[in-house]
Chains A and B, each alone.
Chain A
Amino acid sequence: MKRLKVFLVAALVLFVFTLAAGCTSPATDNKSGEVKVVNLYTDRHYDTDDELYAQFTEETGIEVNVVKGKSDELIERLKTEGADTEADLLITADVGRLERAKIEGLFQTVDSEILVGNIPEKYRDPDGKWFGLTKRARVIVYAKDRVDGTQISTYEDLTKPAWKGKVLIRSSENIYNQSLLASFIELNGYDQAKAWAEAMVVNFARDPDGGDRDQATAVVAGEGDVAVMNTYYLGQMLNSANEEEVKVAQSLGVIFPDQGGDGTHVNISGGGVVANAKNTENAKKLLEYLASAKAQESYAKANYEYPVLENIELSDFLISLGDFKEQSIALSKLGELNAEAVKAFNEAGWK
């Protein structure tokens, strides 16, 4: 009998724990008289972002609840939750995903003078569905000790026979590469973009593996001579706790490609207010806060990203990179053409 009791008690305790666990999730409604909140889905995982949210709460009294995840999966979750979702704001680190969320009807139009006033037109959706907050450039880096930087001035140059077996770039599964190729499809058409990808594959120093930082390291290690990477990762390496990584970053030269032509590929991270948001006003306020000079400065200083706001004091790292000409295509195209880009990569045999 005793054991039966123990078993039943154990089952009961588990049940109660489960219920308790379920009920202790934080208050995410905004009923009158309760705490003001904004519920955020984001795929930006930076501690510096958490600090920004904390400052926002301090200034406005609005609490920020966060779910961090991968943007694709968060979008899928938003779709499934539909009209009943608790999320108010979706932030992603790639414009392709913002555009996909817009196409899926997950965003609502936001009418905000602050956002329109602060964010240049090219970094926000013409319909006011999403707004860019930071930008990164996809640049070419090279080993300063053995490569003459003046030999390369375009993405196209990487496909020249001179660089056969010398080019390092990560896998086509990566969203930054997908957006890069999508921009070429927009600029030059599908066939030419695919031909570029095919020629790149011919010049690969190795099968793509690792992240952007790994490509940079491989250049310095001598596995290849040139690599494609985001500026943002270079900034991280220069400030790494590992001295060897700092050395690697210091021995790399940076080229902003296509300065005489279409301009360097730029991607943005940004956000939009969810169509079925329950705390629309608070979500708008948070977006406005993130686009304010104060927050923009923090992005530029702490996270090595370019602010979208003009006249923001840049970090030494960003200043050292200098000014550059950006691609002038509508960023929304990167999202629309993403699936095309993936297909072109697969057809070109880019792993």
Chain B
Amino acid sequence: MNFLNDRKRVGVMRNLPAFFIIVLLMLPVLFLILRLDFGFNENWIHFKTYLLGDAASNTALLVIGTVLTSGTIGVLLAYGVTVYDFPFRRAIRWSLYLPLTIPPYIAAYVYSGMTSYTGVIQTTLRGWGIILEPGSMSISSIKGAVFIYTITLYPYVYGIVRSFLENHSAGFVETARLHGFKAWRILFKVIFPLVRIPLIGGVTLVIMEVISDYGVVKYFGIRTFSSSIFSLWFGMGDSGVAVKLSFYIMVAIIVFLALEDLLRGGRRYGVSGMQPRRIEPVLLKGFKGKALSMMMISFLLISFIVPVLQMIYWATMSYEKVRLDNLSVIAFDSLFYSLLAAAIIILISITLCHLQRWLNPNFKKAVGKLTQTGYAVPGAIIAIGTIMAFVSIDSTLYPLYKLIDPSTKKLVLSTSTIMLLFAFVIRYMSIGYNTVNSGFSKIGTGFNDTARIMGKTPGRALLQIEIPMMLNSLASGFLLVFIDIMKELPLTLLLRPFNFNTLASRAYEYANDERILESSIPSLLIIVICMVSIAVFVAINRKSRKGDKFDVEN
């Protein structure tokens, strides 16, 4: 028995903060649910008759297609860079994260701009006298959307699988090699079964992004659940039906996550049985190494370098038509609020993960699932829920505001950036929480228990011993959340106070007006800022890896 963590001692008091945080995170969704009515009105029947079939099959195709391609590509790339050594491996290893910095809807605009009749590809071909069949290059289709999602979202899979393989696959891969397994056999017999769990983690993020995306499908004219929500709400003006549909989607996602957990059978890799040991890559000499290197570079070309070059070219063509004077303020605001929100998310995640370690495992699972709700619903819906929540908070707090300043206005919080920050936190809590939680589950409770035997309190043990051990997970969680918020659109558009702009909202304003050339300057700034943050992350990573080694040797 674990006396330290006797249930009696872990009383209500310790559960309370976790409970409070969860309620706060659920607030917008709760407000939306309050608005639900479960009747079946005329619009719902219309939706079922004319839209549901299309929306369901398209969403399913997009999700399945993206999961298969981004899953396969993510695992292959992760396998390649961990198991082999080849020319430019170190640069490629972190460059493969870069496509994450391009917002999917921008990638959609860029790629359709490039492949259109007036785009660079067809124009060049026409210059050579080659005229293509009209529409033959069009990417506005389900396949095209899967392509866009794959090149912008695969880094979720790649990142998670790669870090898992680097730390946990050494024994398996080396054993297989000793038995004379060839590369492909190792891939199918060892790697795929081994990475099943991190793969599911990465793919889950991809699925959520695809389901809630609106920008790409709207531009490509593909009807999905997400676009149906907007069509019901704004086209038919029936917010009740729209909220109901998003509620069903949210429930479906939570059920899916629970099922996934069930199928996994609660199997988690504890650290106890597997001493993490870094895998030593095998040097691929000569042609093979060059070929692997070339393959990875060409993938990077497609997913990142070519679109960015195109944007740079467009930026040089259009900078005279773009308002540049306030860009530095906008860039600063984007950076500041993304950093702030990411920091808040990581702090809350640490608190939650720490508090829940001693909780009943079922309750713990429930906490994990509930943090996901904000990510499972389209952003615009979360935004409306957030406004409802904040307006009612402001009404409640109004007497208090009056005490401080008798001439105050009523909507204090909901006209400030605090509301926007709050929404960011809710939306991206899931990403932060999952990364931080994986850090916690690798560590287990052993270190904390030991520290407490040595006379430390659980909190102090967390700060002094465990957090330094998890720096890597924390940093990667921070980075993922930061990049996501830099690209964030619906929440910013809907919740921002007066005169507040982000780079993403600037890019949107131009792109929405079909001025894609003009939108490339703010888009490029997003990409540059995210690239710098990845570079910083890589530097921290290297430093902390040295630290790891030191620990192990001791």
Q: Give residues in A with beta carbon < 8 Å to B.
A: 3-4, 7, 10-11, 14, 17-19, 21-26, 28-29, 31, 39, 45-47, 50, 65-70, 72-74, 76-77, 80-82, 84-86, 100, 170-171, 173, 178, 205-214, 217-218, 220-223, 233, 236, 240-242, 244-245, 247-248, 338-339, 342-343, 346-347, 349, 351
Residue of A3, A23, A31, A221 near B407 (CB, 8 A) is A31
B84 close to chain A: CB less than 8 A: no
B111 → A minimal CB distance (Å): 12
Docked Cα-Cα span, A199 to B414, in Å, equals 48
A73 → B minimal CB distance (Å): 5
Asked if residues A26 and B112 are in contact (CB atoms below 8 Å), the reply is: no
Contacts of A23 in B (CB 8 A): 416
Docked Cα-Cα span, A18 to B336, in Å, equals 10
Asked if residues A217 and B118 are in contact (CB atoms below 8 Å), the reply is: yes
- Scan residues 397-434 of chain B and give those whose CB is less than 8 A from a CB of chain A: 407, 409-411, 413-418, 421
Q: Name 12 extra pairs, CB < 8 A, besides A7-B463, A18-B418, A23-B416.
A: A11-B347, A14-B344, A18-B340, A22-B418, A39-B498, A67-B498, A68-B509, A86-B415, A211-B514, A217-B116, A217-B117, A244-B123
Docked Cα-Cα span, A178 to B302, in Å, equals 37
- Scan residues 495-518 of chain B and give those whose CB is less than 8 A from a CB of chain A: 496-501, 505, 509-510, 512-515, 517
Give per-residue flags for B304-318: 1 if the beta carbon is below 8 A from chain A beta carbons, else 0. 000000000010011
B467's nearest neighbour on chain A, judged by CB, is A3
Residue of A21, A47, A86, A248 near B417 (CB, 8 A) is A21
Asked if residues A26 and B498 are in contact (CB atoms below 8 Å), the reply is: yes
Shortest 7 CB-CB contacts between residues of A and residues of B: A221-B117, A45-B509, A209-B140, A65-B498, A244-B118, A72-B234, A209-B221
- Scan residues 327-381 of chain B and give those whose CB is less than 8 A from a CB of chain A: 336-337, 340, 343-344, 347, 380
A21's nearest neighbour on chain B, judged by CB, is B417
Contacts of A46 in B (CB 8 A): 513
Asked if residues A242 and B118 are in contact (CB atoms below 8 Å), the reply is: yes
B337's nearest neighbour on chain A, judged by CB, is A21
Asked if residues B421 and A18 are in contact (CB atoms below 8 Å), the reply is: yes
Docked Cα-Cα span, A103 to B415, in Å, equals 25
Asked if residues B50 and A347 are in contact (CB atoms below 8 Å), the reply is: yes
Asked if residues B135 and A218 are in contact (CB atoms below 8 Å), the reply is: yes
Contacts of A85 in B (CB 8 A): 411
Jot down 26 A-B pairs with beta carbons below 8 A, ordered by A: A4-B463, A11-B347, A18-B340, A18-B418, A21-B340, A22-B417, A25-B416, A28-B415, A29-B409, A47-B321, A68-B501, A68-B509, A70-B494, A73-B384, A73-B494, A80-B384, A81-B414, A84-B391, A100-B237, A210-B221, A211-B219, A236-B514, A242-B317, A247-B118, A342-B231, A349-B50
Contacts of B500 in A (CB 8 A): 25, 67
B410's nearest neighbour on chain A, judged by CB, is A84
Residue of B236, B237, B418, B517 near A240 (CB, 8 A) is B517
Docked Cα-Cα span, A212 to B516, in Å, equals 13
Contacts of A24 in B (CB 8 A): 417
For chain B, give the interface size range: 35 or more
Docked Cα-Cα span, A46 to B512, in Å, equals 11
Residue of A74, A84, A223 near B411 (CB, 8 A) is A84
Asked if residues A3 and B391 are in contact (CB atoms below 8 Å), the reply is: no
Contacts of B510 in A (CB 8 A): 45
Docked Cα-Cα span, A171 to B347, in Å, equals 44
Docked Cα-Cα span, A248 to B119, in Å, equals 11
Residue of A7, A67, A77, A241 near B317 (CB, 8 A) is A241
Asked if residues B117 and A220 are in contact (CB atoms below 8 Å), the reply is: yes
A304 → B minimal CB distance (Å): 12
B416's nearest neighbour on chain A, judged by CB, is A22
Docked Cα-Cα span, A343 to B233, in Å, equals 13
B239 close to chain A: CB less than 8 A: yes
Contacts of B314 in A (CB 8 A): 241
B175 close to chain A: CB less than 8 A: no
Residue of B122, B135, B321, B413 near A22 (CB, 8 A) is B413
Residue of A77, A213, A223 near B134 (CB, 8 A) is A223
B190 close to chain A: CB less than 8 A: no
A7's nearest neighbour on chain B, judged by CB, is B463
Residue of A17, A67, A241 near B496 (CB, 8 A) is A67
Asked if residues A209 and B220 are in contact (CB atoms below 8 Å), the reply is: yes
Docked Cα-Cα span, A347 to B49, in Å, equals 9
B139's nearest neighbour on chain A, judged by CB, is A209
Contacts of B417 in A (CB 8 A): 21-22, 24-25
Contacts of A18 in B (CB 8 A): 340, 344, 418, 421
Asked if residues A25 and B340 are in contact (CB atoms below 8 Å), the reply is: no
Asked if residues B391 and A173 are in contact (CB atoms below 8 Å), the reply is: no
Asked if residues B514 and A25 are in contact (CB atoms below 8 Å), the reply is: no
Pick the most buried of A45, A74, A208: most chain B CB atoms within 10 A of its CB. A45
Asked if residues A218 and B117 are in contact (CB atoms below 8 Å), the reply is: yes
Give per-residue flags for B108-124: 1 if the beta carbon is below 8 A from chain A beta carbons, else 0. 00001000111100110
Contacts of A208 in B (CB 8 A): 221
Asked if residues B347 and A343 are in contact (CB atoms below 8 Å), the reply is: no
Docked Cα-Cα span, A39 to B411, in Å, equals 14
B354 → A minimal CB distance (Å): 11
Asked if residues A86 and B421 are in contact (CB atoms below 8 Å), the reply is: no
B451 close to chain A: CB less than 8 A: no
Give per-residue flags for B218-259: 1 if the beta carbon is below 8 A from chain A beta carbons, else 0. 111111000100110111111100000000000000000000
Contacts of B322 in A (CB 8 A): 47
B174 close to chain A: CB less than 8 A: no
B20 → A minimal CB distance (Å): 16
Contacts of A67 in B (CB 8 A): 496-500
B76 → A minimal CB distance (Å): 31
Docked Cα-Cα span, A73 to B491, in Å, equals 10
B468's nearest neighbour on chain A, judged by CB, is A3
Docked Cα-Cα span, A80 to B384, in Å, equals 8
Asked if residues B51 and A17 are in contact (CB atoms below 8 Å), the reply is: no
Docked Cα-Cα span, A210 to B314, in Å, equals 19
B239's nearest neighbour on chain A, judged by CB, is A76
Residue of A39, A173, A207, A214 near B230 (CB, 8 A) is A173
A103's nearest neighbour on chain B, judged by CB, is B237
Docked Cα-Cα span, A242 to B120, in Å, equals 10
Asked if residues B118 and A245 are in contact (CB atoms below 8 Å), the reply is: yes
B125 → A minimal CB distance (Å): 12
Asked if residues A50 and B323 are in contact (CB atoms below 8 Å), the reply is: yes
Asked if residues B498 and A339 are in contact (CB atoms below 8 Å), the reply is: no
Contacts of B394 in A (CB 8 A): 84
Docked Cα-Cα span, A247 to B126, in Å, equals 14
Pick the most buried of B230, B340, B499: most chain A CB atoms within 10 A of its CB. B499
Pick the most buried of A212, A223, A233: most chain B CB atoms within 10 A of its CB. A223
B27 close to chain A: CB less than 8 A: no
Pick the most buried of B230, B336, B411, B490: most chain A CB atoms within 10 A of its CB. B411
Contacts of A45 in B (CB 8 A): 509-510, 512-513
A170's nearest neighbour on chain B, judged by CB, is B221
Contacts of A240 in B (CB 8 A): 517
- Scan residues 115-147 of chain B and give those whose CB is less than 8 A from a CB of chain A: 116-119, 122-123, 134-135, 138, 140-141
B387 close to chain A: CB less than 8 A: yes
A24's nearest neighbour on chain B, judged by CB, is B417
Contacts of A170 in B (CB 8 A): 221
Docked Cα-Cα span, A212 to B514, in Å, equals 8
Docked Cα-Cα span, A22 to B420, in Å, equals 10
Docked Cα-Cα span, A69 to B387, in Å, equals 15
Contacts of A25 in B (CB 8 A): 415-417, 497-498, 500
A65's nearest neighbour on chain B, judged by CB, is B498
Residue of B46, B134, B414, B509 near A343 (CB, 8 A) is B46
